[in-house]
Amino acid sequence: MDAHSEFLKKLLEEVDEGVYFTDRQRSITFWNKGAERISGYSKDELLGKKCSANILVHIDQQGQPLCNGMCPLAHSMQDRQERTANVFLHHKDGHRVPVRVRAFPILDEKQQVIGAAELFQDSSEKAALRSRLEELQEMAMVDALTGLVNRRFTENTLQAQLEELKRFGCPFGIIFFDIDDFKALNDRHSHRVGDKALKMAAMTLQKNIRSIDLVGRWGGEEFIVILRNASRQVLGIISEKLRLLVEKSVFPENGEPVAVTLSAGATLATKEDTVQSLVERADLLMYRSK
């Protein structure tokens, strides 16, 4: 490797974006620190592996797998065009991370395709979220296990949103999520594995809500998502998106994949609601969905 190439690789090692290169067969030849941070996978775990081996298990907005077919990187090698896409990668810990990817073909001096490069960026507004969560932790408003805001903070937010609805007509809705058959998961594996499943579901929900929305742990295996400026259509679309992303999340335990599914109940708030009536209505809708 010449000095110029060495300098470029050192530079790419330090950028915030995830960067990786593959050869023509889609074997990973470079994996930077940004990629390690965003995905949870070290370079030692991925160098020499084929991205088509489904390690990152990219899926598209419809939940369709990309790694075994024509992903953005494979398309770029085929038609020599740069392309961008919004996809969801599978973090090593199991949860889903929304990423914006940019793929480029790599050409040799004869303009022959010899591989591809992909840059990817966590699009979950993580830095702002981390700062806010640190503030809430100091106020004892964060659930210790999942890192989500706790029931107390969620109730306070619901009360504030109801007051805004009554005074200013600001619409909002909630989605009540419950992990299906959670007791059976604990009985089959252990409470330690159950805790990992809770954290996986929580992180997938947290990273894939809109920046104006909030997700909190209500209790046990229950979560509430508060959606501001929501319509019935928005509730349905986001509810199904989050349900699907959790269903597509998985982590290994003793060589066996562990996954969970969610049941959901979604409802718009009315001016006649209290926190109790709103949550009870969403809870009832969730049980009907089971």
Instruction: Give the closest residue to 238 by CA, choosing from 44, 81, 27, 61.
Output: 61
Q: What is the pLDDT of residue 68?
A: 72
pLDDT in tens, 104-119: 999 988 899 999 999 9
Q: What is the pLDDT of residue 136?
A: 64
Least trusted range by pLDDT, from 2-16, 26-40, 71-85, 268-282: 2-16
CATH 3.30.450.20, domain 3-122, yes or no:
yes
The answer, yes or no, to whether residue 91 has pLDDT greater than 90, is: yes
Catalytic site includes residue 82: no
pTM of the prediction?
Answer: 0.77
Residue 227's pLDDT band (boundaries 50, 70, 90)? Answer: very high
pLDDT in tens, 148-195: 999 999 999 999 999 999 999 999 999 999 999 999 999 999 999 999
Q: What is the pLDDT of residue 134?
A: 66
CATH of domain 126-289: 3.30.70.270
Which of the following is catalytic: 17, 36, 118, 221?
221
Instruction: Give me the sign of the Cα torsion angle 11, 14, 15, 19.
Output: positive
The answer, yes or no, to whether residue 64 has pLDDT greater than 90, is: no
Domain with CATH 3.30.70.270 in the chain: 126-289
